Amino acid sequence: MNLSLPAQLGLHRLNPRTSIGGRLIAGFLLIALLSAGALGWMLYGVSSRSLEATYREKLNLVALRKSEALEAYANELLRSVRATGRTETMVAIVRELEAALAAGGPDSEAYLQLAERQRRALAPIAALYDFPEMVLVSGSGTVVLSLNPRLAGLEAGASITRGPLAGSELGGVFERVRTLLQEEISDYAIYPGMKDPAAFAAGPVMDDNSVAGMLLVQLSNAQIRSIVTESAGLGESGETMAGIRVGEEIALVAPLRHDAAAPFENRLPAAGDSALQRAVRGQHGYGIEPDYRGVESLQVWTFAPSFRWGLVIKQDTREAFALIDAQRRITIQLLALLILPVGLAAWLLARTVSRPIVLAAQAAAEVANGDLKLQPESNRNDEAGVLLRALATMVLNLRTLIGQVKRSSVQLTSTAAQLSYTACKQEASVADFSSSTSQIAAAVHEISATGQELVNTMADVARGIEDTAGLADAGRSSLTGLEETVTELATSTQGINARLQAITEQAHKIGGVILTISKVADQTNLLSLNAAIEAEKAGDYGHGFAVVAREIRRLADQTAVGALDIERMISDMQSAVGAGVRDMERFSEQVARGVEASADTNRQLERIIVQVEALTPRFAEVNHGMQSQALGAQQISSAMLQLREVAGATASSVDDLLEATRQTEESVDQLRLCVSKFRTEDADQSTAT
Partner 1 sequence: MRFRKRLALASALALTVIAWLVWHTASPAPIRLGILHSTSGAMAFAESGMVDGEMLAIEEINQAGGLLGRQIEPVMADGKSDWPTFAAEAARLITQEKVSSIVGCWTSASRKTVKPVIEQYNHLLLYPMAYEGLEQSPNIVYTGAAPNQQVLPALKWGIDTLGPKVFLVGSDYVWPHSVNAIIKDQLKLLGGELVGEEYIFFGSDHVDQAVAAIKASAPDVIFSSVAGDSNAPFYKALRAAGLDAKIRPVVSFSIGEKELAVFDTLDLDGHYVAYNYFQSLDNPVNRAFVERYRARYGKDEVTNDATEAGYFSVYLWAQAVRDAGSDDVNLIRQAIRMQSFEAPEGIVSVDPTTQHTWRPVSIGRMNADRSLKVVWSASRPIRPIPYPSSRTPAEWDAFLATMYAGWQNNWSNPVER
Distance CA 420, CA 623 (A): 55
Stretch that binds partner 1, among 27-35, 208-216, 456-464, 474-482 (CB under 8 A): 208-216
The nearer residue to partner 1, 184 or 567, going by C-beta atoms, is: 184
**386 contributes a contact to partner 1 by CB under 8 A:** no
The nearer residue to partner 1, 176 or 425, going by C-beta atoms, is: 176
Stretch that binds partner 1, among 36-44, 298-306, 558-566, 637-645 (CB under 8 A): 298-306
DSSP string, 182-225: S-EEPPPB--TT-SS-B-EEEEEEE-SS-EEEEEEEE--HHHHH
Distance CA 281, CA 250 (A): 10
CB of 179 to partner 1, least distance (A): 5
The nearer residue to partner 1, 18 or 379, going by C-beta atoms, is: 18
Using an 8 Å Cβ cutoff, are 515 and 645 in contact? no
Distance CA 216, CA 85 (A): 9
Q: Residue 451: what residue type?
A: G
* Contacting residue, 23, 82, 257, 373, with partner 1 by CB under 8 A: 82
**Residue 136: how many CB atoms within 10 A of its CB?**
26
Its sign, for the CA torsion 125, 127, 128, 134, is positive
335: nearest Cα among 43, 37, 30: 37
Q: What is the bridge-based pairing of β-strands 143-146 and 184-185?
A: unpaired
Q: Reduce the DSSP state of residue 579 to 3 states and report it.
A: helix
The nearer residue to partner 1, 284 or 373, going by C-beta atoms, is: 284
**209 contributes a contact to partner 1 by CB under 8 A:** yes
* Contacting residue, 118, 218, 302, 448, with partner 1 by CB under 8 A: 302
* Contacting residue, 4, 50, 75, 113, with partner 1 by CB under 8 A: 75
The nearer residue to partner 1, 86 or 644, going by C-beta atoms, is: 86
**211 contributes a contact to partner 1 by CB under 8 A:** yes
CB of 258 to partner 1, least distance (A): 26
Stretch that binds partner 1, among 65-73, 116-124, 323-331, 562-570 (CB under 8 A): 65-73
Using an 8 Å Cβ cutoff, are 510 and 566 in contact? yes
The nearer residue to partner 1, 45 or 481, going by C-beta atoms, is: 45
* Contacting residue, 161, 231, 283, 635, with partner 1 by CB under 8 A: 283
The angle formed by the CA atoms of residues 392, 395 and 397, to the nearest 5 degrees, is: 110
Stretch that binds partner 1, among 203-211, 492-500, 604-612, 618-626 (CB under 8 A): 203-211
Distance CA 347, CA 28 (A): 9
The nearer residue to partner 1, 281 or 445, going by C-beta atoms, is: 281
Distance CA 655, CA 657 (A): 5
Site residues for partner 1, window 170-199 (CB under 8 A)? Answer: 172, 175-176, 179-182, 184
Strand partners, 249: 246, 269
The one-character DSSP state at 300 is E
**Residue 663: how many CB atoms within 10 A of its CB?**
17
CB of 346 to partner 1, least distance (A): 20
* 119 to 158: interface string for partner 1, x by CB under 8 A: ----------------------------------------
Length of the chain: 689
**306 contributes a contact to partner 1 by CB under 8 A:** yes
* 22 to 61: interface string for partner 1, x by CB under 8 A: -------------------------------x---x--x-
**308 contributes a contact to partner 1 by CB under 8 A:** yes
Q: How many residues bind partner 1 (CB under 8 A)?
A: 34
**86 contributes a contact to partner 1 by CB under 8 A:** yes
The nearer residue to partner 1, 203 or 451, going by C-beta atoms, is: 203
The nearer residue to partner 1, 53 or 431, going by C-beta atoms, is: 53
Distance CA 653, CA 286 (A): 114
The nearer residue to partner 1, 268 or 490, going by C-beta atoms, is: 268
359: nearest Cα among 25, 20, 23, 678: 20
The nearer residue to partner 1, 208 or 540, going by C-beta atoms, is: 208
The nearer residue to partner 1, 243 or 376, going by C-beta atoms, is: 243
- Per-residue CA distances from 398 to 392, 541, 565 (Å): 10, 8, 41
**Residue 10: how many CB atoms within 10 A of its CB?**
9
Distance CA 668, CA 410 (A): 8
Q: At what angle do helices 20-85 and 109-129 cross, to 10 degrees?
A: 150
Q: Reduce the DSSP state of residue 147 to 3 states and report it.
A: coil
CB of 63 to partner 1, least distance (A): 8
**87 contributes a contact to partner 1 by CB under 8 A:** no
C-alpha dihedral (650, 651, 657, 661), degrees to nearest 10: 160
What does the binding site for partner 1 look like in residue numbers (CB under 8 A)?
A: 53, 57, 60, 63-64, 67-68, 71, 75, 82, 86, 172, 175-176, 179-182, 184, 206, 208-211, 281-285, 302-303, 305-306, 308
